[in-house]
Chain A
């Protein structure tokens, strides 16, 4: 165990820093409350929820889940290379993470296009209100995550050690948070009803 790993054991120094973990907790609680509200209101509109859920494209959702999990694996690997001071490999894995992030955005956009084509909007029914609100807010987080990763990629491509390890880990933790939120959204929105 190195010095950095020992520091993580201290209360104020979780991996990535205390601030990003406070953000992660707030975001997880917010999205969880949204999902709990969705399921709660679903009790009184079971038929409507079931018929709306059946219309969602589960194939796109499962591919997107695999894409996000893979991108999470890539950024975790990139962080390991940053720790080992192998900038070339770290840059390569950050690039892969960004590519997979864009694949997620493209597939999500295609899914939205199909919904709009089918006339299933935010105001169609309560299920779609939750579907659009939760997935759109998640997509905004993914876009912010992609911006952070792109900044890292450009910065360390130009100059080695341009970014502190803690900052890199905080950015990676934000990207993982997008994955965590999606892992909560995916089963509830696409499979539970």
Chain B
């Protein structure tokens, strides 16, 4: 059931990304939504939420560092 809820949110976030891509705040919004989607897939679908603290924090940090770097370079 949780998987289905996460899947619905992932689809909604994807459609939201598409519709806001022309807006002024698009850059930051698109990247935040991308981070959320990545974390949802990893933590729910890949069951990272059940893994050791190290794997959870390392994955989250990696995703955040990458998107922050992309934001700073693009902005």
Contacts and interface: CB of A to CB of B under 8 A. Distances in A.
B62 A73 contact: no
Given A191-B30, A192-B27, A183 B37 contact: yes
Contact of B47 (A8, A11, A180, A191): A8
A58 B4 CA distance: 26
Contacts of B14: 62, 65-66, 69
Nearest to A190: B21
Interface in A30-80: 32, 35-36, 39-40, 42-43, 58, 62, 65-66, 69-70, 72-73, 75-77, 80
B41 A188 contact: no
A25 B58 contact: yes
Interface of A: 5, 8-11, 14-16, 21, 25, 28-29, 32, 35-36, 39-40, 42-43, 58, 62, 65-66, 69-70, 72-73, 75-77, 80, 169, 172-173, 176, 179-180, 183-184, 186-188, 191-192
Main secondary structure on A side of the interface with B: helix
B62 A28 contact: yes
Contacts of B18: 58, 62
A48 to B, nearest CB: 15
Contacts of A191: 17, 21, 26, 30
A76 B50 contact: no
B4 A180 contact: no
B73 A173 contact: no
